[in-house]
Amino acid sequence: MRKLLTGVCDNVTKNIDKILLWKNSFHQVVPEGSVVLLAYNPTPSDIKTLEDNNIAFLNVSGEGTETVNNQRLTILSDFLRDYSKFYDVVFNTDVFDVAFLKDPFKKLDLAKYDIFVGGESMLHYQEPWNTDVMHKCFPEYLQATKDQEIYCSGVMAGRPLQLSKFLLDMVKTTLTSKKGHDIEDQAAMNIIIHQNDKSQDEKYRLKKFEITEDWCLHMAICGPTQFFESWGFKDRIKERYGITPDWKDYDIVHQFNRIPEIHKQIKDINGL
């Protein structure tokens, strides 16, 4: 099976250590996989940095009023569509704060599903940041999604063509935003998942991993950040799932750089 990891980033030279951790951790657990970075408006220095570090990349450009965070959706959708014949399954993730501890492809049941996302363990109404974005950008969906679990747009996987279509739907949704926040992609994704769940003819064969399945831990909510206990996340997770998540149990850890001691341990694991 032809496996790919990809993601979009800018300011490559400034962030090369983060990019190397993302790439090297993937190759530690998926040595046969490919990694292609989509370098956004790279400078000559950025290109030299990527070449010096043997990082395969595509030079992609963008301009206009949309943020890089939103523009990357179109970039990724186009890339996955155009290169779909070269890969069977792909991970599209954030680049600066994602690391791999175990092979995450092993849990992907491609016979039943085409797209895979991970839950953050909280319902929308229980988490202030996601509620705020939905309220400011897509107020018409605030009530409809308030009792839905939050799914994170920072780590997605699936078959390239289906994931390309899913990302294109996210683009179309962001275009309807009230532009009250500069990060809209996650809210857009959760709206699409809500619509998919409610549809009689499911548009996407979508697998939603829960934190008890040890696929991906999104640490902004699942701890131990400074908000893990003070905002009640720890108690809610314990009540709902009967666990306190341990990052070492997961295939993927996301947002680990918000906890300095865990960030250091993950760098040490990867010799960085």
Check residue 49 and give its pLDDT.
Answer: 98
Q: How many C-beta atoms lie closer than 10 Å to residue 22's C-beta? A: 25
Give the start-end residues of each E strand in the chain. Answer: 3-9, 34-40, 57-60, 89-93, 98-100, 115-123, 149-158, 206-209, 216-218, 252-254
213: confidence class by pLDDT, cuts 50, 70, 90 = very high
Q: What percent of the chain lies above the pLDDT cut of 90?
A: 92
Q: Tens digit of pLDDT for each residue in 76-112? A: 999 999 999 999 999 999 999 999 999 999 999 999 9
Percentages of the chain per state (helix, strand, coil), in multiples of 5:
50, 20, 30
DSSP string of 208-241?
EE-GGGTSEEEHHHHSSSTHHHHTSHHHHHHHHH
Pair of tokens at residue 182 = 């500069």
pLDDT at residue 66 tops 70: no
Contact predicate 103/30, CB 8 Å? yes
Handedness of CA 79, 81, 84, 85 (dihedral sign): negative
pLDDT at residue 69 tops 90: no
Check residue 192 and give its pLDDT.
Answer: 97
Q: How many C-beta atoms lie closer than 10 Å to residue 181's C-beta? A: 17
Mean pLDDT, the chain, as a whole number?
A: 95
Mean pLDDT check: name the lowest of 3-7, 60-64, 199-203, 243-247.
60-64
Higher pLDDT, 227 or 14: 14
Pair of tokens at residue 116 = 């895979």
Contact predicate 101/248, CB 8 Å? yes
pLDDT at residue 154 tops 70: yes
